[in-house]
């Protein structure tokens, strides 16, 4: 049984490094053109070169999204862009449009092509069709059950890899093909500009009673609203592996570095635990605990277990129980002094949890807080300010300090 790839989102260079440091085998990101996250911190050519070097030095891969549905004007310069990506050493491109696939095969035939989930591949014959067009990997539509995935992987050639989302935001439209944003805001969701109107709070108004707003809510027969819960398959790693999925994909190029670190760490630990002892594998609650701490909507298992009616629900709010408050930039073993970059306001004497790439989380207390000038301070209120604290437990560069939002300041 082939060990699956863990594929993480990289919305910025910092997030790329975080994903790799916390255990991702590969990352996917948006370059300077034609990707569906136009408002993410997409990579310039210089950043992409640095990211590729960082990943390749550590034996990891980088995939670049070119997954828009391009209009005529979007195709201008596509040949040069593809050649540039190939020359930089990009490991694969993720594409949804046949025209871009055809162009890639013409100008960079050696560059690996992955079919985006936007192409809505939901059956094995379509997978074989795309594979014959030169596509190495199929990113499945989110609307498939595990039973359908198993049948698909059994019937396609071994040379065709299957990738599927296992965690993150879901879309109320069919694998992202939605035009509500276009109509409501003038921002084209299929050209990277989605305004996410499915997350808005809606009320009904009857035309003869203006000003009377009727709430939209869920009852025992289902929900009548657009937004979706978040996918989470951390409790079903064996089923995912046995289905034949090669790449486990995490959604979230617009999410924080903390999100990337926590999600990647939990799935890395779970996958590794399964392959260390498939027969004795047991789910560990600590994996889910990490996922519960990051900002998320209520979790569910999507369409994997033939229960799609649970996708829609009445509350579009995020659950945000924990914040990242600092990033460790250095630690002096001789003095026990840690240098921290502030990420959210934190106070002298606060108890915080340390999220580390390897090993379990643990708790420390921030004592003797000082600013960069060595002056005693009661809190670190300014974004990205550098401060020091005394910590008995040795910290490592890159450790993340997170804090329960409900905990009281000392």
Q: Which of 173, 192, 177 is nearest to 119 (CA)?
A: 177
Do the domain assignments include residue 283?
yes
Same-domain pairing of 378 and 357: yes
What are the DSSP calls for 324-366, one per residue? Answer: EEEEEEEEETTTTEEEEEESS-EETT-EEEEE-SSS--EEEE-
> Domain containing 377 — which CATH number?
2.40.30.10
Do the domain assignments include residue 150?
yes
Cα 243 to the center of its chain, rounded Å: 22
What value does the CA radius of gyration of the chain take, rounded to a whole number of Å?
23
Q: Which residues touch 304 (CB under 8 Å, ≥6 apart)?
A: 144, 145, 146, 149, 233, 236, 239
Range of the domain at 123: 5-175+227-311
Same-domain pairing of 191 and 276: no
Same-domain pairing of 40 and 134: yes
Do the domain assignments include residue 250?
yes
| CA atoms of 250 and 243, how far apart (whole Å) | 17
| CA atoms of 68 and 94, how far apart (whole Å) | 10
Same-domain pairing of 345 and 386: yes
Same-domain pairing of 66 and 190: no
Question: How many CA atoms lie within 13 Å of 201's alpha carbon, on the beta-carbon side?
Answer: 7
Do the domain assignments include residue 100?
yes
Same-domain pairing of 204 and 237: no
SS3 content of the chain, % helix, strand, coil (to 5): 30, 25, 45
Q: What is the DSSP letter of 408?
A: P
Cα 196 to the center of its chain, rounded Å: 17
Q: What would the pLDDT profile of 251-266 be if each residue is shown by its tens digit? A: 998 899 999 999 999 9
Same-domain pairing of 186 and 277: no
Domain stop point among 284, 311, 338: 311
Same-domain pairing of 138 and 282: yes
Domain stop point among 275, 290, 311: 311
Write down the pLDDT at residue 224. Answer: 44
Residue with tokens 């250095």: 330
Whole-angstrom CA distances from 257 to 66, 146, 250, 342, 351 are: 23, 30, 13, 14, 21
Domain stop point among 247, 276, 311: 311
Do the domain assignments include residue 349?
yes
Do the domain assignments include residue 317?
no
Do the domain assignments include residue 409?
no
Same-domain pairing of 131 and 211: no
Q: Which two tokens stand for residue 303?
A: 């369409």
Q: Are 237 and 332 in contact (CB under 8 A)?
A: no
Q: Which of 357, 355, 332, 334 is nearest to 343 (CA)?
A: 355
For CA atoms 236, 256, 184, 193, the dihedral sign is negative
Same-domain pairing of 250 and 155: yes
Q: Which two tokens stand for residue 92?
A: 């694969």
Question: How many CA atoms lie within 13 Å of 169's alpha carbon, on the beta-carbon side?
Answer: 20
pLDDT in tens, the chain (410 residues): 789 999 999 999 999 999 999 999 999 999 877 765 555 567 899 999 999 999 999 999 999 999 888 889 888 999 999 999 999 999 999 999 999 999 999 999 999 999 999 899 999 999 999 999 999 999 999 989 999 999 999 999 999 999 999 999 887 776 666 777 777 788 877 666 777 777 677 777 777 778 877 666 655 544 445 667 899 999 999 999 999 999 999 999 889 999 999 999 999 999 999 999 999 999 999 999 999 999 998 899 999 997 655 555 555 567 888 999 999 999 999 999 999 999 999 999 999 999 999 999 999 999 999 999 999 999 999 999 999 999 989 999 999 999 998 765 54
Do the domain assignments include residue 410?
no
Q: Which residues touch 344 (CB under 8 Å, ≥6 apart)?
A: 323, 324, 325, 403
Q: What would the pLDDT profile of 183-227 be if each residue is shown by its tens digit? A: 778 887 766 677 777 767 777 777 777 887 766 665 554 444 566
Q: Are 94 and 28 in contact (CB under 8 A)?
A: yes
Strands (E), 262-410: 299-300, 322-332, 337-342, 346-347, 351-355, 362-365, 367-371, 379-380, 386-390, 400-404
Strands (E), 140-268: 161-169, 203-204, 214-215, 230-232, 247-250
For the chain, what is the domain count?
3
- Residue 131, number of CB atoms within 10 A of its CB: 18
> Domain containing 97 — which CATH number?
3.20.20.80
For CA atoms 67, 72, 73, 76, the dihedral sign is positive
| CA atoms of 58 and 43, how far apart (whole Å) | 20
| CA atoms of 357 and 363, how far apart (whole Å) | 15
Same-domain pairing of 140 and 206: no
Q: Which residues touch 50 (CB under 8 Å, ≥6 apart)?
A: 13
Q: Which helix (H) or strand (E) holds 105?
A: helix 98-107
Same-domain pairing of 167 and 185: no
- Residue 345, number of CB atoms within 10 A of its CB: 15
């Amino acid at each position: 049984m082939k060990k699956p790839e863990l594929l993480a989102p990289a919305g910025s260079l910092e997030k790329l490094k975080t994903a790799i440091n916390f255990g991702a085998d590969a990352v996917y990101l948006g370059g300077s053109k034609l990707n569906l996250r136009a408002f993410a911190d997409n990579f310039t050519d210089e950043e992409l070169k640095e990211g590729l070097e960082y990943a390749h030095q550590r034996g990891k891969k980088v995939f670049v999204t070119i997954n828009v549905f391009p209009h005529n004007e979007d195709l201008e310069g596509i040949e040069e862009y593809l050649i540039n990506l190939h020359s930089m050493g990009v490991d694969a491109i993720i594409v949804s449009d046949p025209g871009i696939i055809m162009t890639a095969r013409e100008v960079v035939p050696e560059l690996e092509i992955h079919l985006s989930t936007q192409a809505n591949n939901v059956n094995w014959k379509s997978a074989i069709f795309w594979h014959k067009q030169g596509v190495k990997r199929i990113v499945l539509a989110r609307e498939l059950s595990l039973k359908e995935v198993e049948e698909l992987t059994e019937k396609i050639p071994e040379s065709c890899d299957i990738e599927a989302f296992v965690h993150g935001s879901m879309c109320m439209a069919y694998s992202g093909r939605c035009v509500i944003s276009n109509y409501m805001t003038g921002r084209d969701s299929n050209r990277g500009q989605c305004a996410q109107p499915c997350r808005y709070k809606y009320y009904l108004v009857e035309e003869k009673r203006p000003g009377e707003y009727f709430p939209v809510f869920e009852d025992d027969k289902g929900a009548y609203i657009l937004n979706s819960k978040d996918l989470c398959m951390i409790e079903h790693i064996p089923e995912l592996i046995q289905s034949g999925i090669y790449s486990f994909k995490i959604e979230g190029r617009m999410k924080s570095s903390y999100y990337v670190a926590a999600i990647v760490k939990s799935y890395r630990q779970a996958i590794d635990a399964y392959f260390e002892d498939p027969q004795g594998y047991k789910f560990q609650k600590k994996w889910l605990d990490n996922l519960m701490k990051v900002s998320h909507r209520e979790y569910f298992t999507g369409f994997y277990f033939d229960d799609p009616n649970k996708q829609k629900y009445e509350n579009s709010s995020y659950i945000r129980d924990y914040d990242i408050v600092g990033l460790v930039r250095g630690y002096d073993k001789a003095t026990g002094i840690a240098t921290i970059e502030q990420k959210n306001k934190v106070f002298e004497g606060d108890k915080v949890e340390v999220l580390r790439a390897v090993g379990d989380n643990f708790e420390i207390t921030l004592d003797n807080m000082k600013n960069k000038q060595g002056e005693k301070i009661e809190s670190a209120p300014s974004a990205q300010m550098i401060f020091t604290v005394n910590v008995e437990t040795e910290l490592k560069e890159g450790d993340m300090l997170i804090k329960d939002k409900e905990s009281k300041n000392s």
